[in-house]
Amino acid sequence: MNDRNLVRGLVLMAISLAFGLESLRYPIGTFSRAGAGLFPLMVSSLLLAIGLITVVRSRFVERVHLDFQAKNIAIILGSLCGFALVSHFLNMTAGIAFMVFSASFAATSYSVVRNLQVAAGLIAVAFAFQKLLGLNLPLY
Partner 1 sequence: MDVLHNLAFGFEHALTWQNLMFCAIGCTVGTLVGLLPGLGPLATISLLLPLTYSIPTGGALIMLAGIYYGAQYGDSVSAITMKIPHASSIVACIDGYQMTLKGKTGLALFTAGVSSFIGGTVAILVLSFLAPSLGEVAFLFGPADYCALMLVGFVCVSFVTTGSLLNGLAMCLVGVLLGQIGTDVNSGMPRFTLDLPFLADGVGIVSIALGCFGIAEITKNLDNREERSPFNGKIHLIPTWAEFKRIIPSALRGSVIGSFLGILPGGGPVIAQFAAYAIDKKVSKYKHEIGSGAIEGVAGQAAADEAAARTSFIPLMSIGIPENAVMALMMAAFIIKGIQPGPNMISGHPDLFWGLVASMWVGNCFLIILNVPLVRYWLSVFKIPYNVLFPSILFFCCIGTYSVNNNLDDIFITAAFGLLGYIFMRLELDAAPLMLGFILGPMLEENFRRAMLLSRGSFMSFMSRPISGTLLSLIGVFVAWQVISFFLQARKAPAPHRLSPELAQPKLAEE
Q: Per CB under 8 A, which of residues 64..123 are in contact with partner 1?
A: 64, 66-69, 72-73, 76-77, 79-81, 83-84, 87-88, 95-96, 99-100, 103-104, 106-109, 114-115, 118-119, 121-122
Using CB under 8 A as the binding rule, whether residue 140 contacts partner 1 is answered as no
Question: How far apart are alpha carbons 126 and 110 in whole angstroms?
Answer: 24
Using CB under 8 A as the binding rule, whether residue 55 contacts partner 1 is answered as no
Q: How far is the CB of 140 from partner 1 (least distance, A)?
A: 15
Question: How far apart are alpha carbons 98 and 83 in whole angstroms?
Answer: 6
Which x/- pattern, by CB under 8 A, does the window 6-25 give for partner 1?
-xx--xx--xx--x--xx--
Single-letter amino acid code for the residue at 97: A
Q: How far is the CB of 138 from partner 1 (least distance, A)?
A: 9
CA pseudo-torsion sign 45, 46, 50, 53: positive
Using CB under 8 A, pick the residue from 17, 28, 47, 94 that binds partner 1: 47
Let me know: does 139 contact 93? Beta carbons within 8 Å.
Answer: yes
Question: How far apart are alpha carbons 94 and 65 in whole angstroms?
Answer: 41
Contact partners, residue 1, CB within 8 Å, separation at least 6: 7
Q: How far is the CB of 63 from partner 1 (least distance, A)?
A: 9
User: 94 or 126, CB closer to partner 1?
Assistant: 126
